[in-house]
Structure 1
Amino acid sequence: MSDIIETADARASAPVDPSYRDASLPVSERVERLLAQMTLEEKAGLFFQAMITFGEGGELAGPDPAFGLPGTDEYVVTKGMTHFNVLGAAETGEQMAGWHNKLQALAASTRLGIPVTVSTDPRHSFSENPGAAMLAGPFSQWPESIGLAAIRDASLVERFGDIARQEYTAVGIRVALHPQIDLATEPRWSRQVATFGEDPELTSQLGAAYIRGFQGGELGPESVATMTKHFPGGGPQKDGEDPHFAYGREQVYPGGEFELHLKPFEAALEAGTSQIMPYYGMPVGTEYEEVGFGFNKSVITGLLRERYGFDGIVCTDWGLVSDAELMGEPFPARAWGVEHLSPRERMIKVLNAGVDQFGGESNPELLVDIVRSGEVSEERLDVSARRLLREKFVLGLFDRPFVDVERASVVVGSAEFVAAGEAAQRASITVLTNSSTEAGMPVLPLARGLRLYVDGIAPEIAGEYGTVVESEAEADVAILRIQAPYEQRATMFENFFHAGSLDFADEVVEHIRSVAAVVPTVVDVLLDRPAILTPIVGEVGAVVANYGANARALLDVLTGAAQPRGRLPFDLPSSMVAVEANRPDVPFDTKDPLFRFGHGLTL
C-alpha cells in the first residue's frame, strides 16, 4: 500500500507533460500519456457519473437539497469528477451552452484539465412524466420512442437521432443515456413508454437506426455517444413492477425467452453503440447469478464482454452502491441480491463484474481507499480508465471543449427541427376505431367549425378548430383526452413510474359513457402503457391513441389536416385477467387481445 501512495504523490508533484493534448498523435498514445500522469484520485474521479443541475440563468449550480446534490465546485475541483448527467433544462439553448462552457472552464482549471463529459436522459419527448423522460425545454419535441415505433420508419428514427445529435452537441451534451431497447413484453411495466415496443425485430431495426442518428457511421468529434440500455433486457419484470423499487427487483423468464431479449442488443452492438447500461433487476431462475445486473459478472463479463466482445464503456444504472434521500424521502440503493453487502463491498463487486463506471454515485474517496487497501488493484482501474479517457479523446473534448453559444441559439429548437418533431407527433397518432354516424358516415375526420365540447384540451387551442361550448348537450361532437390508467403509490418518486392495473377507474368509464350518450364522442388516450379499452370502445364514436402529442397535432389529425400513420407498437389486452396470465418474457402472450400489434386505421 505504501508503494501506491508514494507513486501517487510523485505523480501529483511532477510537472505536467502536455503532450497528451497533441491532436496529431493516435488516440491510444494520447490516452497512455495522460494515464501515466494521473494520480489515483484523478483516476477515481473518472469512475463516477453523478447528476448535476443548471444554476439560475445558466450559472453553475450550488448544492441542491431536493436531489441531495453537492455544488459544482465540490464535484469538479474537490472530487475530481468529469462525467455528469444534467437534470432539468435552462430556458434557452444559449443559456445551456453558456453553462456548459463555464463547467468546462472549471474543469480546465484542475491540474490535468481533463474535460467534462455531459450526458442526459431523453429530452425530446412531448411527455410530462419525468420518471421516463426529461422535460424538452428549448429542444424540438417529438413523440416518445414508443410513438416513433408506431410510425415504423427507420429513416425517420435515424433523422430524429441526427436532429437530437445536433441540438445536443450545440449545448455540449455528448452522451445520450438512451436508446432504451428493452422489449415491452410485460404490459404493466412502467418503463415501456421509452422503448420501441413489444416486437424484437422492430425494436432491433429502430434501435440501430437511433444509434446511427446519434453517433454517425463511427464515433467522432460530431457524435453523441449512445449508452444503450438496459442490458440484457429490462422488460420481463415480475408482475410488471419496476426494479427502481425493492418490490420490483426480480426479472423472471417463465417462457424461457432470456435469449430473445438479447436480440435488440445484438443489433445495437452491430450498429456500434459506444456504451451499455445494465438494468437494476436480478434474473431469477436462469443460468446467471441472482444479483442485480450491474453486480453480475456472469452477465457483464461472461455475456457482454466475452460472448459479444464488447470493449466499450459499461456504466451502471443510477444508485447501486449508496443509500440516498430523494425529495425528502428515503431512497435505498438498488443493490438487489446484495443488500447485505456494505457500500464498500458493493463497489468492489461492481468492479469485479467488469463495469467501468458508477451511475448516480459521487464517492471517489471510497474507491481510492479500496485501492490503497489492496482490495482492488490500480491496474484494474487502469482498464476502465483507458476506456473512459479514450471516449473523451474520440469525441474531441480535449481539442474542442467549448461550444459556440451563438450557434446554440440558432440550432436548438430551430423552426426546421420543431416542424419535424410536430410532424412526427401527428404521424404517430393511431386510429383504433372509427364508427359510423346515424347518417352512415364515419365520425372521423371531423369538419372544422363544429361546436366542440372538450376535456383535456385547452379551450383556446380547441377554439382554433371550432366553437368551444360549455356542455356536451350544446356540442356537435365531444373530444376527451385521457391517459392510460395507473395506481397511486406511497411516495412522490414512485408516482413518476406509472404502474399497476391497466383498468380504468369506474368514474372515468362512467364519465366517458355519460358524454357519449349525449353527443358523438372521440376519445384520445395517451398509451404510455397498453390500457384496457374494452369498456370504452363500444360506447364512443372513435378511439385514437397518442404516445406524446400536443393538442394541435391531435386536432390536425381529427379534422383531416394530417394523416395518422400510427400502428400499435404492442398488443392492447382485453382484460386484466389476460394481463395477469401473460408470461413477462414472452411477446404477444396476452390471450385474445382487444387490438393486435400493428393495428391502425387510416382516415
Structure 2
Amino acid sequence: MLHSESIRTCSDETQRHTTFSRRSVPVTSCLAAFLIALAFQATGQSTSAREQPTLGVRSVKLLEQDGLKFKDLNRNGQLDKYEDWRLSAQERSRDLLTKMSLEQKVGFMLISTTRLKNDQSFGTATAKEPITSDFNEEDLVASQNMFTRKPLPTPIMNAAGTTKAVTQFHLRHFILRANVSARTTAEWANKLQALCEGDGLGIPAIVASNPRNHITASAAIGTSVGKTVFSAWPGELGLSAMRDLKLVREFADIARQEWSAVGLRKGYMYMADLATEPRWQRIEGTFGEDAQWAGQMMTEIVYGFQGKTLGAGSVAVTTKHFPGGGSGEGGQDPHFDWGKKEVFPGGKFANNLIPFKAAIKAGTSSIMPYYSLPADTKFEPIAYAYNRAIIHDLLRTELGFTGIINSDTGPIEMMPWGAENLSIQERYKRTLEAGVNLYSGTADPANLLATVKSGTVDTKLIDDSVLRLLLEKFNLGLFENPYVDEAAAERLVGNAQFQARADLAHRKSIVLLRNETGLLPLKPQTKVYFDANAAKTGGSATAATSYTINDGKYPITFVATPDEADVVVLWLKPSAKSLFASDGSPIYLSLSKNAIDVAYVNALAAKKPTIVAINYSNPWVIDEIYRKEANTGIKGVLATFGTTSDALLDIVTGKFSPTGKMPFTTPSSEAAVQQQKEDVPGYEEGGGYALFNYNEGLTYKGGNKKLSVSKR
C-alpha cells in the first residue's frame, strides 16, 4: 500500500510537505508523491516509534514531554498512556478501556446512520434546502423497517441527532449515506471529529460507508451509494471480469486515497459472497461464482484499502456477509422473512468460506455476518448473528479471525430470524455470547445497556468488544489526527489521473461473447444506429441522441434511425424488481420479465445485422433473443457490468480489443434457472445448463499491443 500521505494534492498551485520516515520531502505533484511513496513501500521503512506524528487539534491542549508533543484528550493536564503515541495500540487501548464508563462502552458498540443537515437518508424527503456540512440534530425514529417498509412491533431510532449521539449516547461509530461533494463531506467530517474531541475522553469517530466508486444499476441505501464525485469504476462484477489483479489493487488504493481524503475511514464492503444462485438480487455486488478467484479478488481489495497492516492512511475493510449469503432459497434475500433460509442442496457450505479465508489472511479489519439462517446443515437454524457455532467456533476459533465482528443493520429489531420469540434483551444476550462486537441498526444504546446492567451477560464480553474497536481506531491513527484537508480533498477526489485508470478498467471489464461472421470490430464508415438506452417494455426505444453525430472519436457514422443503418447496436440493461421492493414472488431471469422489450429487439435483428450488449447485473437468460442453435440477426453479443457508453463504443469500433472474461455462467433457459442448486456454481451444474460459460471471453485478432485508453 502506498504511504498514507502519498498524495496530498494533485495541484501544483501550492507546495506542500509530506512527512515520510525520518525526513520531510517537499512534494509538488501527484507523480512525485506517488514515486516517493513507492520507494518507501519497496524498502519497507516505517515510522519510528519516537518520531513526532502530525497532531490534529481543535480544542484540547498539547502536552510536551521529552521534546515531543501529545494531545491531552481527557484534559487532566498529564500524559495518560492512551494519549502516548509512542506506546503500542494494544497498551493504549487497554489503558483507555479502564477509563471508560459502562455507558461509554455500550455506546461505543453501536454503529448507526448519521446525517448531514437537510439529509433525509431513511426518512421522508421533505427538506427543500440543499444538504450542508452542518449537523442534522433530528432523531429519526422509525415505526417500520428501514429497508422493507414493513411495520415494526416497537419503534427504533435509526439515527440520532449528531450532538446527542456523541455527547449523550457516546456513539463513535457512524455510517454516512449522503451523496454530496468531497468538500462538503470533508467539512462535515472535521466538524464531527471536533465534536468528539471536545467530549469526555476525546475519543475520535470513525465514519463508514457502502461502496462509492462504482457504476451500478441498483444503487440503494444499504448496498451501494452509486454514482458519486469519486472516481467511477466498473461494478464489482466488472472488476472481476478484467482478470487483472494488479489493476484491482490499484483501484482499491485509489479509492483508499479518495475515501481517506474526505474522512471516510471504514468501508462496509466488499462482498465475499458467491454468485452461485443466479436469481439473487445482490449478485451485482459480488466478484462472481468462483470461490478461488473471489478469494484472490478479496486479497487485492484488502491490501489496496488497508495495506499489509492498518495504518494512518488505511481505510478499514468490512468483509461481508459471513459465511456467505449467495445461496438463499429460491434466490430470495434474508432482508425478508421469505428469504431467511440459506440452503446448500449441493453440499457446498465449505466452498463459501474460501473468499473469507483469503480476506482473513490479508488482514481484513471487520467481518459482517448476514441475516440468513442455515436451513440444511449441521448448524442450528438461527440467524448468523446469533449463531455461536458460526461466529465463535467457526470464524473465531477455526478460521482464526481476531478482528471486529460487525452485525449487519437490524438483526436485533428487524431481521431476527430464528430468534423471533426472544425479547430484545434476550436477543442482545444471545448475539453477545455468539461473538458480535459492533451492532448496526439503532442509535439508541438503552436496550443494550439494560441487557448488560441486568447481570445476565458477562461484562468481559463488553470489554473484549470495546478493546477490539479501540485497536482499530488506534491503528488507523485517528487518535493523533482524525482531521482532513478540505481543499486538498476537493482536488484529489475524482481527479483526471484517477479517472483515467478507471477508464482503462471499464474497457478491460467488457466481455466479447459472440462475434458471428467477424462483424466486430465495425469497419470504418459503417453506418450505426446505437440505442444505449435499453429497449424497455411498454415504451418506444429512444436512440442515444449524443451518438447521432460523430464528433471525431469513432471511425463509424452514427445515424438517427435503424432504417438508415448498416448495423444496429443495442445496449440492453435488464432490471429486476429492486431488492427492497421484493414481495416473495418467484424470481425469473428472462429478459421479458426484466423490463426488456423482446419484440422490439427481435424486430430490429430481423431487419438489420445487430450487435447486442447486455448489462449483466444478474446472469440473465437471453434465449428470447439469442440461442446457440438459432440463426438470428444477432451477429455479436457483449457483456457489460456497469460501464460507460464510451467504453462500449471503444470495444465495438476496435479502438480497444476486448480482454474480459465472464465472472459467472449464464443459464441457457429459464427452466435451467429453476432447476439449478443454489450453492453450486454454474460451471458445475452439468451439461445443458450454460449458454455462456464462466471465464469465457473472446478478443480480436492481434489484441492490444498496449493496454491503454486513448486521450479524447
TM-score past 0.5 threshold: yes
Which structure exhibits the higher relative contact order, with contacts defined as CA atoms closer than 8 Å and separated by 6 or more residues?
A: 1
Tell me the residue number matched to 1:519: 608
Tell me the residue number matched to 1:145: 236
Tell me the residue number matched to 2:387: 296
Greater displacement, 337-346 / 114-123 = 337-346
Match of 1:228 among 316, 319, 322: 319
Tell me the residue number matched to 2:41: none
Alpha-carbon distance change, 226 to 597 in structure 1, aligned in 2, over 3 angstroms = same
Matches within 5 A, 1:343-382: 343-382=424-463
List alignment gaps of at least 5 residues for structure 2. 1-73, 118-130, 147-157, 534-542, 627-631, 701-712
* 1:362 partner SS: coil
Task: Kindly tell me the number of residue pairs found equivalent between the two proteins.
Answer: 573
Q: How much does 1:128 deviate? A: 3.7
Tell me the residue number matched to 1:415: 496
Is 2:338–2:584's contact at 8 Å kept on the other side of the alignment?
no
Matches within 5 A, 1:226-375: 226-322=317-413, 333-375=414-456
* 1:84 partner SS: strand
Q: How much does 1:69 deviate? A: 3.0
Matches within 5 A, 1:86-485: 86-91=176-181, 93-131=182-220, 132-322=223-413, 333-436=414-517, 441-447=518-524, 450-456=527-533, 458-461=544-547, 463-464=549-550, 465=554, 468-485=558-575
Is 1:144–1:548's contact at 8 Å kept on the other side of the alignment?
yes
Alpha-carbon distance change, 69 to 361 in structure 1, aligned in 2, over 3 angstroms = closer
Q: Deviations over 1:196-231 (max 9, x none)?
A: 111111111111111111111111111111111111
The 1-side partners of 2:400 and 2:408 are apart by 21
Q: Deviations over 1:205-258 (max 9, x none)?
A: 111111111111111111111111111111111101111111110001111111
Greater displacement, 555-564 / 466-475 = 466-475
Q: How much does 1:135 deviate? A: 2.1
Q: How much does 1:479 deviate? A: 2.1
The 2-side partners of 1:94 and 1:14 are apart by 31
Tell me the residue number matched to 2:171: 81
Tell me the residue number matched to 1:599: 696
Q: How much does 1:54 deviate? A: 3.2
The 2-side partners of 1:496 and 1:407 are apart by 46
Is 1:485–1:501's contact at 8 Å kept on the other side of the alignment?
no
Is 1:45 the equivalent of 2:121? Answer: no
Is 1:570 the equivalent of 2:664? Answer: yes
Alpha-carbon distance change, 499 to 415 in structure 1, aligned in 2, over 3 angstroms = farther
* 2:488 partner SS: helix
AA matched with 1:75:
A
Tell me the residue number matched to 1:5: none
The 2-side partners of 1:198 and 1:275 are apart by 23
Is 1:484–1:502's contact at 8 Å kept on the other side of the alignment?
no
AA matched with 1:503:
S
Is 1:158–1:209's contact at 8 Å kept on the other side of the alignment?
yes
Is 2:528–2:569's contact at 8 Å kept on the other side of the alignment?
no
Q: How much does 1:156 deviate? A: 1.2
Match of 1:30 among 78, 86, 92: 92
The 2-side partners of 1:125 and 1:498 are apart by 29
Is 1:503 the equivalent of 2:590? Answer: yes
* 2:317 partner SS: strand
* 2:505 partner SS: helix
The structure in which a higher percent of residues are helix is 1
Q: Deviations over 1:92-129 (max 9, x none)?
A: x1221111101111111211111000111111101141
Is 1:232–1:262's contact at 8 Å kept on the other side of the alignment?
yes
Is 1:255–1:586's contact at 8 Å kept on the other side of the alignment?
yes
* 2:407 partner SS: coil
Greater displacement, 67-76 / 41-50 = 67-76
Alpha-carbon distance change, 496 to 48 in structure 1, aligned in 2, over 3 angstroms = farther
Alpha-carbon distance change, 127 to 257 in structure 1, aligned in 2, over 3 angstroms = same
Tell me the residue number matched to 2:708: none
AA matched with 1:501:
Y
* 2:138 partner SS: coil
The 2-side partners of 1:265 and 1:150 are apart by 20
Tell me the residue number matched to 1:71: 161
Alpha-carbon distance change, 220 to 496 in structure 1, aligned in 2, over 3 angstroms = farther
Tell me the residue number matched to 1:10: none
Alpha-carbon distance change, 374 to 241 in structure 1, aligned in 2, over 3 angstroms = same
AA matched with 1:59:
D
The 2-side partners of 1:500 and 1:151 are apart by 28
Alpha-carbon distance change, 278 to 446 in structure 1, aligned in 2, over 3 angstroms = farther
Q: Deviations over 1:458-510 (max 9, x none)?
A: 31145344655443112232222222352x47xx8326999821011176211
Q: How much does 1:539 deviate? A: 3.9
The 2-side partners of 1:279 and 1:499 are apart by 22
Q: How much does 1:449 deviate? A: 6.5
Greater displacement, 585-594 / 302-311 = 585-594
AA matched with 1:118:
V
Alpha-carbon distance change, 499 to 562 in structure 1, aligned in 2, over 3 angstroms = farther
Q: How much does 1:550 deviate? A: 1.2
* 1:45 partner SS: helix
The 2-side partners of 1:462 and 1:347 are apart by 60
Is 2:532–2:571's contact at 8 Å kept on the other side of the alignment?
yes
Greater displacement, 461-470 / 147-156 = 461-470
The 1-side partners of 2:231 and 2:680 are apart by 35
Is 1:484–1:530's contact at 8 Å kept on the other side of the alignment?
no
The 1-side partners of 2:452 and 2:314 are apart by 34
Alpha-carbon distance change, 563 to 578 in structure 1, aligned in 2, over 3 angstroms = same
AA matched with 1:597:
Y
Is 1:295–1:350's contact at 8 Å kept on the other side of the alignment?
yes
* 1:534 partner SS: coil
Is 2:608–2:633's contact at 8 Å kept on the other side of the alignment?
no
Greater displacement, 462-471 / 167-176 = 462-471
CA RMSD in angstroms comes to: 2.3
The 1-side partners of 2:96 and 2:415 are apart by 34
* 2:591 partner SS: coil
AA matched with 2:98:
A
Matches within 5 A, 1:520-599: 520-537=609-626, 538-588=632-682, 589-591=684-686, 592=688, 593-599=690-696
Tell me the residue number matched to 2:30: none
Alpha-carbon distance change, 70 to 404 in structure 1, aligned in 2, over 3 angstroms = same
Alpha-carbon distance change, 304 to 453 in structure 1, aligned in 2, over 3 angstroms = closer
The 2-side partners of 1:33 and 1:525 are apart by 56
Give the percent of matched residue pairs that are identical in Structure 1 and Structure 2.
38
Is 1:50–1:85's contact at 8 Å kept on the other side of the alignment?
yes
AA matched with 1:137:
T
Is 2:573–2:614's contact at 8 Å kept on the other side of the alignment?
yes
Q: How much does 1:360 deviate? A: 2.3
AA matched with 2:561:
S
The 2-side partners of 1:54 and 1:462 are apart by 42
The 1-side partners of 2:183 and 2:532 are apart by 36
Alpha-carbon distance change, 64 to 598 in structure 1, aligned in 2, over 3 angstroms = farther
Q: Deviations over 1:375-411 (max 9, x none)?
A: 2233221010000011100100000110111221121
Q: How much does 1:350 deviate? A: 1.0
Q: How much does 1:147 deviate? A: 0.8
